Structures are given as C-alpha cells and as structure tokens.
A and B are shown apart, each in its own frame.
Chain A
C-alpha cells in the first residue's frame, strides 16, 4: 500500500508501452486510458496518504511529507491528463509513447519526493528528467517547424549541466561525511567546515533550481515552453516544480542556518523576481510570458525557503501547490483555445469572452490569482510568504525589510502583463469574426473546479497550511 501511486504509475507506463505495439490504435480509447490512469494515480495517492514505511535499506522514506507531495503530483497529473489528452500537436503514431514517457517522468517525480539517499535522489531525478527531455521534441514537425528540436536540445544541455553541478555537490557531501544517507549527512555536517558545507549544499540545490527555474538556472524556460507542445509545457510548468520544492526543502535543511546561504537565496530570489517579471512584460507569446512569470514565482517560493524554519517551508509548499493550480488553469485554457495545437499569441485571445465565456472567466480569474489579487490563493500565499520572511528577520533587520519591499514591488510589476492578457480576453474583440470554441464538459468542470479550489485555498488557508506544516514536521523529526 505504501507505494501504491508508484505502482499505478508504473502500470500505466507499461500499459502505454503495450499500446504502442499495436499498429491500429483507437485514439479515443488511448485518451480515456490516459485520463483513467491520471485519476487512478491521484486516487492511489489519496489512499496511501497516511501510510508510513522505510524501504530499500532506508533509502526510500514513505511519510506524510512525501505522500502529501505525491498527492499533489497525482492531482497535477490528473489535471494535466484532462487538458492534455487530445495532444493536438503530436503525431497520432507516437501518442502512446508520449503518454508512456509522461507517466515514467511522473513516476520519477514521485520516487524523488520519497528519496532520502543521494544515489536514489539522483536516479529518480534522471528518470523524471530524461523522460521529459524526450517529450519536448515529440511535437509534430508536419508544418516544417523545427523550434521544438531547438527547445529539446536546449533543455537537455542545460539539464545535463545542472545535473553535473548537482553531482559535484553530492561528491562533496559524500566526501565530508562518508555516507549517502541524508539523515546521516545532517549529523556529519555539523562538524564540517562551513565553507565546504555551503558550497556542497548550493551545488546540490543548483540541480533543483534548474527544475524550478530559479535564476540563474532559468535559461531553458522560455524556449522550452515555446517549443514544446502546449500540453507538454503545461506539464513541465507545473508538476516537476512540486518535486523540486520538496527536494529543496530536504536539502536546505541540511545546512543548519548558514547566513551565507540565506543571503545567497535572497539574492537569487530577488534576481528571479525582477528578471522574470521584467522580461515577461515584453512577451507576446502567452506561453513565454507564463514561463517568465514562473521564474518570478520561483523567486517568491525562495522567500519561504530562506526563512530556514518549518513554518516557512510549510508556506512554500502551500504556495507551490497554489501556483500549480493557477498555472494549470491557464494551460487548460491555452490547450483548449489553440485549435490545432499551435502556439498562442496574447493577441489570439482577443474576443475570447464571446467565443467561450467559461474559458475566458477561468483564464481571467487564474491570471488575477497569479498576479496576487485577493481573495485567491496567489494573494494569500504571497501575503504569508512576506509575513514569514519579515518575521524571520525581525523588524529591526533592514535587509529582510528591503527584500520584502522589493518582493512587494514585484507584485505591482507583474500585474501589468497579467492584465494585458485579461484585457485581450475581455475588453477587445477579435479583428475578424472567429468561430466559437467548443470545450468538452470534463475540461470545463476541471477548470471551474480549479478556480473554486483557488478561491477556497485563498480564503480559508488555515487547514491547508496546517497540513503542509505537519508534513514538514514529519520530515524534520528524524
């Protein structure tokens, strides 16, 4: 029972492998299978959410912390399957393989959040990464487009580089402590020289900064988002970031309160916010814009991490969970508006309120939520992150105050580009008369459900943060 979600994902991947062997394949059946396995994973994670176990010689820890993340990953996968099942821009012949790699990647992510040993972490991370690298160039090149290849190559090169950094850091950790188990590393690092610890921890974190798209490991983001099919970008932009946050929290708690790391994280957080928001201002492609906005949001999550305190980690988890929902809602709209899977410019959303009012509403509300307007989860998350950061520094500490003020200023910058999309969708009409968009009921229901969830999480955050808090505590106890 403890590894039920993993088993379901593995079964799903095998099922798609078998399906890929058939020459003639019923596309509808394929889509339904994908959605089914998505929801099954979520269900499996839900069933096993309270299970606890230590497996594989102590390298695999099943506790509430990992199970909570698996629940969120399962939820993300289910939603991604709902809006991503049509795969408009992927050749029919390779769709089973596409799903197979997608499920393998998710499997890697679920393994990752349970991994408490360096080699296990590395293997799970590579399983999830390499499967995603393959998804990017699977976009159809029927119309002579090649930018998906460019995106794929960029993704893989940057990814390998990030992995290199991570391995280098891991070698330091091993060298300093003589073990690969995280709980033993924590004990071993207490007597180690601080400079070496900081270096090692930062190097290991770099690997996950890449996944989460934190400055300066963000360079792949805009091109990959733009080059990959809409459905793929929707997955890349959300689910892996959950696992990245889970692992960042694990790793950062190795470094017991080093001020160097705190200041470094502050610097990276501010750079991510400013870089992401300022670059997003000038984007015309909506996926690129969401990519840059994701960099800025990663900066906000760093604020939760740099408090170095369980409450701060809990808020970071709350925030990433909210971010995944908001972003998924946006990608759900993009995937449905895009008729043949082509990229959408912001201009293309003009007149959406007429063509498909429900999608327009979902888009507008999730963009306002991303922009941090109450009463949605985006506001509550930012509010709690800022409060937590200021609390961590104390009111007398000017550096924390400045960081908080600059982060708040970023909220104001960000709202401009979110508004420009709302403006296109709501206030202007399309230049030529475009046909209405039909959306199937499942997509509508899931989209509305996401918006309602954002609203509930934003207006009644206490339960959710308490959940995240107790998860962090179970992780920190041993």
Chain B
C-alpha cells in the first residue's frame, strides 16, 4: 500500500461517483420535463465544479495514486472499494466531468420524448464512467465497466435514429462479448495474487504463457472498446444512430476506456507479453489509421464520416501507447484528450445541423455557410483541429506520437504519415461541402444561426482546442511523472529480463 496517498477529509472521488447517481435517484420522483433538464444541468455542473480541486490539489511530483479512498467491501474474495487517480487518469476524469454538462445542453431541444428517463441515463452514465477511471480494484472496475452498457444501450435504443435496434444490440453484444474473457483473466490474476487490488497485480513474476493469455483477454476487451481495426464495426453503427449526447459520450469518453485499459492494465500487469506483442499491435494501429482515413473519405453521412475518423484518431492513440517511449505515451494521452474535445465538438456540430434539417447527409447540409456564419466558424476550427493543424490541440498529440514513432522505427512512422494527410483530405472535403457546397445547393434560407445556448455549448470546446494547442505544458506536466515512472518500470523490467536470459544461457 506504499504506492497510495490516502485521502484525508472529504471523500472527493466517492462524491464525484455517487453525486450524479443520487441526482438520478431524485429524478425518479419528479415527472416534470423542464425540471429534469435544469436539474440534470445543475447536477452535472456541480460535479464538474467539485472536480476542480482534483487538479489544484494534484501532486505532479509523484507517480503514486492520489486522493485514495479504501474500504473493505467483499472480504471473502478480498475485494475492496478502492478509488484513486494518478497522472494517467486525472485528465480523463476531468474531461468526463466537464463534458457532461454540455451533453445535457446539447440534448435540451434534441430530446423531445421521455426526457426524464434520458436524463437519468445520462447521470448513471456519468457515475459509471467516472468510476471506471477511478477504480483501483479490478472487480469494482469490471462492475462499472459492464454496468455502463445498460444506460448506453438505452440511450441508443430509445432515443436513436431509424436503425437504432440494430445499432444498439450490436453495440451491446460486441462490448459484452469482448469483456467476458476479461472477467476470466481477472479471476485468473486473482488466483495468482490473492487480491483484486490492481497495483498488487502489477510487476509480478507471471509465467510468459500466462502473461500472453491474460494480455490477449485484455486486448480483446479493450481493442473492441477503442475500437481498433478490425474490431471497429460496431462504432459507425452506434455513432450514426445514437442521439447527439450519446455520440458525444461515446466518442469523447467511452472510447478512451479502451486505451486507458491498455495503459493501466496491459503494460504493468503483463509487461513481457507487451514486449512480445507490441509490434503487431503497432501495425494494427497503422492499419486503423489508414483504413479510418480512406473510409471517412468515402462517406456522405456526416456522423459516419466523423465515426470513421475516430477509428483513425484512436489508431494514433494505440500507436503512441505501444511505442513504449515517453513521447509516444504522452502524445497518446494528449491525443485521448484532444480526440475527446475535438470529436465531441464535431458531433455536437452535426447534432445542431440535424436539429435543423433532420438529416445528416452532406448533400442536404451543402452550403449552409451562407445562412449560418457562426456555425461554420466553429465547424471550421474544430475540423482544422481534427486533422491536426498546427496551433490546435490535435497537432500536439499527433506530433508527439509521430516523433515517438520516428525514435522507434522509421518505417512505422512513415506508414502513419498518410493517415495525417488523409485526415486533412476528408475534413476539408466535408468543410467545402458544408460551407460553400456547389451550384446545386438545396434551399437553406429557412435555417437559423446558432442560438445563445448552442454558442455556450461550443465555446468551451474551442477554448480547449487553442489552450491545449498553444500551451500544452500544464497538461503534459500533470501526466509526466506517472508516464515516466511507468516507462522506467517497463525498462527495468526489460533489462532484468535480458539479464535473466544471459544468466540462464
């Protein structure tokens, strides 16, 4: 337990987890729709504000887990209720708490039927997502990881588009099927260690076969969640059919759980397997980047386009993680945040067009720039950010990842470059169509520009785009110590392994 800094005083993390849940419970007793909107906005805003002390009180000089709360839960199996955050998870936690209020704002008019249940689902989502990033006990992690499927399924299945049934069931089955072997792996790890406490499982001398099996079980669960090529097919369907808030949550937060899983579990628990299997995963990431780019180029549905672009962007994240060097890993974490900000904002933009034209087709939205100047201004910035234009946030992440890739393997880095070019191609193609279109634009004169609520929704995203893009250092500082510590341990582990081999020979 020496790697934990126990939280004294107010249980901040528990509050963040249970406050939205309590808010959802209160709503069960009120049926009024506008009450539900304001109440949920209030709850999510308070959660976001309360989470600020996490950053201000965060000690960037240590890689230990901070704000830790530990209580016994199921002593029979040595399962505890342990929460804690470190440099890897803090940004994800903050992003989750801060994106939720905007999801509520984005659903203000978009959701017209069964508003109260929708808001309950959103709040329950927030609870389980925060819990996943904070849990330091594997069973707690797994419970929240699985539980999340219910509200997300309902978000897609009830408030989704025309093919919602297909998309929601595909989403549920895919993710569930991926994570059942994770459960078996967790149990196997428990039998080796006698505890479900995650830090206890790290850096143990498991046999190589065991590590590889556990790694593969982890990989299946996390790769489906990311999603990595070729496990990505559920993503476009789910994105296209989900309501705006659902798409934003899915893109900004849910996908990050997969890559978070790689960082938190695969690397420290199964280091030998990571060294052995990193190479194929790097190439799978490259495949994802290129594949995502090309398919996005061919889409005429805006949501599908952004969904496929997510496959490409998340490819950069997995690429950065399995480069196993500081630049790559910091770039990957940055890219997780950037993708959350940028793609979340893009989905919000698509949602705003959809509310007006009731279509996501590029051809229907062609030429709206003439009538919605504010809207296209935002859209242009977010699109620039999406393909990593210098000065925006994604540039930092992609640059770091590519720089890390050049350190490791030049061929690999060169293979990833076309992905960046493709990103520019599909994003500019979309922008051209939406802002100007052609000579045969549909009549758009009935469109109204963004209202104040929508501008308020988008502005914070824009601030973060430029904040991270122009001054990324504070963000990098938060994660630096944890990343360096993780890589140091990996290196020691590898050298130790090499030394052992030399002795054995």
Interface residues of A, Cβ cutoff 8 Å to B: 368, 373-375, 379, 383-384, 386-387, 390-391, 394-395, 401, 404-405, 408-409, 411-412, 415-416, 419-420, 423, 426-428, 460-462, 465-466
Asked whether, in the complex, the Cβ of A419 is within 8 Å of the Cβ of B172, the reply is yes
Q: How far is the CA of A233 from the CA of B475 in the complex (A)?
A: 60
**B158-189 vs A, Cβ < 8 Å mask (1 yes, 0 no):** 10000011001100110011001101100110
Give the residue of A368, A461, A462 whose beta carbon is less than 8 angstroms from that of B150: A368
B77 contacts which chain A residues (CB < 8 A)? 384, 387
- Scan residues 128-173 of chain B and give those whose CB is less than 8 A from a CB of chain A: 139, 142-144, 146-147, 149-150, 153-154, 157-158, 164-165, 168-169, 172-173
B190 on the A face (CB < 8 A): yes
Give the residue of A374, A379, A408, A465 whose beta carbon is less than 8 angstroms from that of B184: A408
Asked whether, in the complex, the Cβ of B191 is within 8 Å of the Cβ of A411, the reply is no
**Which residue in chain A gives the minimum CB-CB distance to B183?**
A408
Q: How far is the CA of A419 from the CA of B154 in the complex (A)?
A: 11
B75 on the A face (CB < 8 A): yes
Give the residue of B74, B142, B164, B191 whose beta carbon is less than 8 angstroms from that of A391: B191
**Which secondary structure dominates chain B's binding surface?**
helix
**Which residue in chain B gives the minimum CB-CB distance to A465?**
B76
B192 on the A face (CB < 8 A): yes
Known: A374-B147, A462-B75. A386 touches B187 (CB 8 A): yes
Q: Nearest chain A CB to B17's CB is how many angstroms away? A: 13
Interface residues of B, Cβ cutoff 8 Å to A: 73-77, 139, 142-144, 146-147, 149-150, 153-154, 157-158, 164-165, 168-169, 172-173, 176-177, 180-181, 183-184, 187-188, 190-192, 210
A461 contacts which chain B residues (CB < 8 A)? 74
**Which residue in chain A gives the minimum CB-CB distance to B139?**
A383
Asked whether, in the complex, the Cβ of B158 is within 8 Å of the Cβ of A427, the reply is yes
**Which secondary structure dominates chain A's binding surface?**
helix
A401 contacts which chain B residues (CB < 8 A)? 184, 188
For the complex of A and B, the 10 pairs showing the least CB-CB separation, nearest first, are A374-B143, A408-B180, A412-B177, A427-B157, A387-B187, A462-B74, A374-B147, A374-B146, A395-B191, A412-B180
Q: How many A-B residue pairs have CB under 8 A?
A: 83
Q: How far is the CA of A465 from the CA of B79 in the complex (A)?
A: 14
**Which residue in chain A gives the minimum CB-CB distance to B142?**
A374
Asked whether, in the complex, the Cβ of A386 is within 8 Å of the Cβ of B165, the reply is no
Give the residue of A405, A415, A427 whose beta carbon is less than 8 angstroms from that of B165: A427
Asked whether, in the complex, the Cβ of B183 is within 8 Å of the Cβ of A383, the reply is yes
Q: How far is the CA of A423 from the CA of B172 in the complex (A)?
A: 12
Q: How far is the CA of A374 from the CA of B73 in the complex (A)?
A: 15
Q: How far is the CA of A173 from the CA of B157 in the complex (A)?
A: 56
Known: A374-B147, A375-B143, A387-B190. A404 touches B184 (CB 8 A): yes
CB-defined A-B contacts under 8 Å, sample of 26: A374-B143, A374-B144, A374-B147, A379-B143, A383-B187, A384-B77, A386-B184, A390-B188, A395-B188, A395-B191, A395-B192, A404-B184, A405-B184, A411-B176, A411-B180, A412-B173, A412-B180, A415-B173, A415-B176, A419-B153, A426-B154, A426-B157, A426-B158, A460-B74, A462-B74, A462-B76
A387 contacts which chain B residues (CB < 8 A)? 77, 187, 190-191
Q: How far is the CA of A81 from the CA of B215 in the complex (A)?
A: 50
Q: Nearest chain A CB to B26's CB is how many angstroms away? A: 16
Q: How far is the CA of A390 from the CA of B191 in the complex (A)?
A: 8
Asked whether, in the complex, the Cβ of B157 is within 8 Å of the Cβ of A423, the reply is yes
B76 contacts which chain A residues (CB < 8 A)? 462, 465-466
Known: A386-B187, A461-B74. A373 touches B146 (CB 8 A): yes
Q: Nearest chain A CB to B478's CB is how many angstroms away? A: 31
Q: How far is the CA of A428 from the CA of B158 in the complex (A)?
A: 8
Give the residue of B75, B169, B180 whose beta carbon is less than 8 angstroms from that of A419: B169
Asked whether, in the complex, the Cβ of A423 is within 8 Å of the Cβ of B165, the reply is yes
**Which residue in chain B gives the minimum CB-CB distance to A391?**
B191
A390 contacts which chain B residues (CB < 8 A)? 184, 187-188, 191
Q: How far is the CA of A412 from the CA of B170 in the complex (A)?
A: 12
A462 contacts which chain B residues (CB < 8 A)? 73-76
Q: How far is the CA of A395 from the CA of B189 in the complex (A)?
A: 9
B143 contacts which chain A residues (CB < 8 A)? 374-375, 379
Asked whether, in the complex, the Cβ of B169 is within 8 Å of the Cβ of A373, the reply is no
Give the residue of B73, B146, B164, B210 whose beta carbon is less than 8 angstroms from that of A427: B164
Q: How far is the CA of A405 from the CA of B190 in the complex (A)?
A: 16
A395 contacts which chain B residues (CB < 8 A)? 188, 191-192, 210
Asked whether, in the complex, the Cβ of A416 is within 8 Å of the Cβ of B188, the reply is no
Apart from A427-B158, A427-B168: 5 A-B pairs, beta carbons within 8 A: A373-B149, A379-B143, A395-B188, A408-B181, A466-B76
Q: Nearest chain A CB to B117's CB is how many angstroms away? A: 8
Q: Nearest chain B CB to A351's CB is how many angstroms away? A: 12
Asked whether, in the complex, the Cβ of B183 is within 8 Å of the Cβ of A386, the reply is yes
**Which residue in chain B gives the minimum CB-CB distance to A389?**
B187
A426 contacts which chain B residues (CB < 8 A)? 154, 157-158
Q: How far is the CA of A383 from the CA of B186 in the complex (A)?
A: 10
Q: Nearest chain A CB to B376's CB is how many angstroms away? A: 35
Q: Nearest chain A CB to B215's CB is how many angstroms away? A: 16
A423 contacts which chain B residues (CB < 8 A)? 157, 165, 168-169
Q: Nearest chain A CB to B190's CB is how many angstroms away? A: 7
B187 contacts which chain A residues (CB < 8 A)? 383, 386-387, 390, 404
Q: How far is the CA of A276 from the CA of B192 in the complex (A)?
A: 33
**Which residue in chain A gives the minimum CB-CB distance to B74?**
A462
Q: How far is the CA of A347 from the CA of B173 in the complex (A)?
A: 21
Q: Nearest chain B CB to A362's CB is how many angstroms away? A: 13
Asked whether, in the complex, the Cβ of B188 is within 8 Å of the Cβ of A405, the reply is no
Asked whether, in the complex, the Cβ of B157 is within 8 Å of the Cβ of A415, the reply is no
B169 contacts which chain A residues (CB < 8 A)? 416, 419-420, 423
Asked whether, in the complex, the Cβ of A373 is within 8 Å of the Cβ of B181, the reply is no
A466 contacts which chain B residues (CB < 8 A)? 76
B142 contacts which chain A residues (CB < 8 A)? 374
Asked whether, in the complex, the Cβ of A415 is within 8 Å of the Cβ of B184, the reply is no
Q: Nearest chain A CB to B136's CB is how many angstroms away? A: 17
- Which of A401, A427, A460 lies at the interface centre, i.e. has the most chain B CB atoms within 10 A of its CB? A427
Q: How far is the CA of A428 from the CA of B177 in the complex (A)?
A: 25
**Which residue in chain B gives the minimum CB-CB distance to A415?**
B176
Q: How far is the CA of A404 from the CA of B188 in the complex (A)?
A: 10
Q: How far is the CA of A44 from the CA of B133 in the complex (A)?
A: 47
